[in-house]
């Protein structure tokens, strides 16, 4: 019996891989699904393909717009992505695990040497600049784009999800949010391009928050870590869920085939390191005044493809 700690994207992907290989699995998930979660809910087309057969029905997303105070770079996605709420997606994954015979325990589990560790980001106490994520769903007209509005080191993403809703999700410095009493409506009203975009939309849920956020590899020293428990990529890349599916599946395979932890970690590093390096270059570049003009010249493959796991 393999224990999987955490039942979201990475944990469920690992469990499904093990179940398909005939292994018995118990998933420990400490929260009750379905539940909303702070996430842009942009599911990369490759992740949709890897989760194939799950009947993921969300909103179709075919293009990206990167916007820096009026300078815009728009391009078609190499393959259509899906906008789907974590409320629906994580529940669908849980149902699939249970349908294939996995045991689902709604309680906290403990990471150990033989376990698949998919508990997501660990809380970290970062000193200095702390970033927080926020998200809410809106009603109103929808399109087929994921639009990212950059503001300093932060951004706000806008994209459709199922049911004709629009997800508005972003990252900002704690001090900026504190200055408006964590009133995200007020915060976004102060950014003219975002405010204009949200003009015809009406918020349909309270703002949710998460943080502080820490980007990069995580020091998880036991078991087979996957997803955000292994490393947390800059959310503006919209590739975190893809990374969780890819590394979750790999962790399932590694345990099923009896790989040593070191071998598994090496394979993960090969897959993730280039995307991490490129994402961190892009994050640092966000503050350079010339970057919007440079981005306009860059091919989509560089801006999008290079930030994804190999």
C-alpha dihedral, 231 to 236 to 240 to 241, nearest 10°: 170
* Contacts to ligand FAD from residues 96-135, by CB under 6 A: 108-109, 118-121, 133
> In the chain, what is the greatest distance between 2 CA atoms, to the nearest angstrom?
55
Q: How many residues bind ligand FAD (CB under 6 A)?
A: 36
State the binding string over 17-56 for ligand FAD (x if CB under 6 A, else -).
-----------xxxx------xxxxx--------------
| Residue 202 and residue 139 in contact, taking contact as beta carbons nearer than 8 Å | yes
Q: How far is the CB of 44 from ligand FAD (least distance, A)?
A: 6
Instruction: Please select the residue that binds ligand FAD; options are 58, 160, 235, 292, rule is CB under 6 A.
Output: 235
Classify 223 in phi/psi space as left (phi over 0), alpha (psi -120 to 50) or beta.
left
292 binds ligand FAD (CB under 6 A): no
* Contacts to ligand FAD from residues 168-187, by CB under 6 A: 169, 171
* Contacts to ligand FAD from residues 188-217, by CB under 6 A: 210, 213
Q: How far is the CB of 193 from ligand FAD (least distance, A)?
A: 19
Q: What does DSSP assign to residue 122?
A: P
**Residue with the two structure tokens 């995307």:** 275
| Residue 51 and residue 285 in contact, taking contact as beta carbons nearer than 8 Å | no
244 binds ligand FAD (CB under 6 A): yes
Task: Choose between 30 and 293: whose C-beta lies nearer to ligand FAD.
Answer: 30
Tokens of 87: 């409320």
Classify 2 in phi/psi space as left (phi over 0), alpha (psi -120 to 50) or beta.
beta
54 vs 114: CA distance, rounded Å: 27
- Contacts with ligand FAD by CB under 6 A lie at 5-6, 8-11, 28-31, 38-42, 108-109, 118-121, 133, 169, 171, 210, 213, 227-229, 235, 238-242, 244
């Amino acid at each position: 019996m393999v224990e999987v700690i955490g039942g979201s994207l990475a944990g469920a992907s690992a469990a499904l891989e093990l179940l398909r290989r005939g292994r018995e699995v118990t998933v420990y998930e400490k929260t009750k699904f379905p539940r909303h979660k702070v996430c842009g809910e942009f599911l990369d087309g490759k992740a949709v393909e890897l989760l194939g057969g799950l009947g993921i029905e969300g909103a179709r997303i075919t293009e990206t717009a990167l916007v820096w105070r009026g300078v815009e770079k728009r391009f078609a996605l190499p393959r259509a992505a899906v906008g789907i709420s974590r409320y629906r997606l994580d529940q669908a994954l849980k149902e699939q695990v249970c349908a294939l015979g996995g045991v689902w325990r709604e309680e906290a589990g403990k990471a150990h040497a033989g376990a698949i560790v998919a508990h997501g980001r660990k809380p970290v106490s970062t000193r200095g600049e702390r970033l927080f994520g926020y998200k809410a769903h809106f009603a109103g007209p929808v399109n087929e784009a994921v639009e990212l509005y950059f503001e300093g080191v932060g951004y706000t993403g806008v994209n459709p999800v199922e049911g004709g809703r629009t997800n508005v999700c972003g990252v900002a410095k704690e001090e900026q949010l504190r200055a408006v009493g964590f009133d995200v409506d007020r915060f976004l009203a102060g950014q003219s391009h975002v405010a204009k975009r949200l003009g015809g939309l009406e918020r349909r849920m309270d703002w949710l928050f998460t943080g502080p956020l820490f980007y990069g590899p995580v020091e998880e020293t036991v078991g087979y870590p996957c997803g955000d428990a292994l490393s947390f990529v800059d959310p503006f890349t919209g590739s975190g869920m893809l990374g969780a599916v890819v590394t979750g599946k790999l962790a399932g395979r590694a345990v099923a085939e009896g790989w040593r932890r070191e071998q598994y970690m090496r394979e993960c590093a090969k897959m993730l390191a280039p995307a991490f390096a490129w994402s961190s270059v892009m994050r640092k570049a966000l503050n350079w005044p010339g970057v919007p003009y440079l981005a306009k010249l860059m091919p989509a493959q560089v801006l999008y493809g290079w930030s994804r796991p190999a």
